[in-house]
Amino acid sequence: MSTSANGTGTAPLLARSVRDLREIIAQWRKDGASVGLVPTMGALHQGHMALVRVMQEKVDRTIVSIFVNPKQFGVDEDLDDYPRPLEDDLAQLASVKVDAAFVPEAEMIYPAGFSTIVSVSGLTNFMCGKERPGHFEGVATIVTKLLLQALPDAAIFGEKDYQQLLIIRQLVSDLDIPVEIYSAPIERESDGLAISSRNRYLSASDRRLAPALYATLQSIAKDAVENFNYRSLESRGIEALLEAGFEDVDYFEFRDAETLELALRSDQAKRLFAAAFIGGKRLIDNVAL
Ligand code: AMP
């Protein structure tokens, strides 16, 4: 592996357009460097930094994209309120020696007349796909665009958004996009809450209750070692979350780790997935069994 373009910990190269991005990458390619992309919506935290660390092990040059993708937000969702602390984000990227940041404007990504949507069927039919109509089309469209804009050797996604990870693997395979997709485990706060850019919007009392999501996933997953009646365990999990103070549970389900079909058998590789609301904020999490 060659030394980083950013070996000194100075600010990453900043690309504000696809043209800038391609110029930077073309130069790296000339130097024979391999390139990895870490797509994010910014408001960077330790979860994002974990993806960066994995990518830096895999490739010579790492780019982090920061783009709050309007197409993946529903009409009632928090697009306008989504945090955009760009200076802090760039400082964090400098501190871990990321080589470049790609920070495009929405008008450049979706100019007037933009008409293409990438839609992955099957995997999007349930869980967050069912509860957030259009969300995964927005994700699939932006990720396809970012991969074609950067043409990286590798890209990485977090298991925090496990359904998204599988959808991206599917579209990369279906569309023959020549990129290696890596994943990284969920980074958590010390009390177990999965780190998320949206956690900052939890009130102090909701923040204290929020770790119950992971605790419940863990405790029900533990019970599933001996009890294979997954549907009744799921009902118990939902009850436990409501008792803990969550006001609504979108889903709490054992599903196959590859197809995401509802888990039926004890010999299947599975994960337990949950999405639940606390103080009007929707949290998601999952654990492997
Ligand atoms: P986001 O900025 O929320 O769109 O997330 C960008 C990438 O970071 C996605 O691949 C997420 O799955 C991943 N990610 C977000 N939170 C975490 C976390 N707590 N642990 C690991 N990866 C995460």
Helix (H, G, I), strand (E, B) or coil at 242: helix
pLDDT on residue 250: 97
Contact 212, 241 (CB under 8 A): yes
**Residues carrying CATH 3.40.50.620, the chain:** 8-184
Q: Whose CA is nearest to atom 14 of ligand 1?
A: 158
For 8-184, CATH number?
A: 3.40.50.620
C-alpha closest to that of 36 among 87, 90, 99, 89: 99
pLDDT on residue 78: 87
pLDDT on residue 2: 38
Amino acid residing at 57: E
pLDDT on residue 8: 57
**Residues carrying CATH 3.30.1300.10, the chain:** 197-288
C-alpha closest to that of 192 among 225, 165, 214, 170: 214
Active site residue 45: no
d(CA 281, CA 197): 12
pTM of the model: 0.96
- The residue behind tokens 């069994």 is 289
d(CA 263, CA 221): 12
Amino acid residing at 24: I
pLDDT on residue 76: 86
Structure letter (DSSP) for residue 192:
S
pLDDT on residue 192: 98
Burial of 55 (0-12, 13-18, 19+ CB in 10 A): buried
* Ligand 1 center from residue 55 Cα (angstroms): 14
Low-confidence ranges of the chain (pLDDT < 50): 1-4
In which element (H, E) is residue 26 found? helix 18-30
Mind listing the pLDDT tens digit for each residue in 2-60?
344 565 568 999 999 999 999 999 999 999 999 999 999 999 999 999 999 999 999 99
- Which residues have C-beta atoms less than 6 Å from ligand 1? 40-41, 47-48, 50-51, 157-158, 160-161, 184, 186-187, 194-197
* Ligand 1 center from residue 156 Cα (angstroms): 10
The domain made up of 197-288 has a fold known as Pantoate--beta-alanine Ligase; Chain: A,domain 2 (3.30.1300)
Mind listing the pLDDT tens digit for each residue in 153-162?
999 999 999 9
pLDDT on residue 10: 82
pLDDT on residue 213: 98
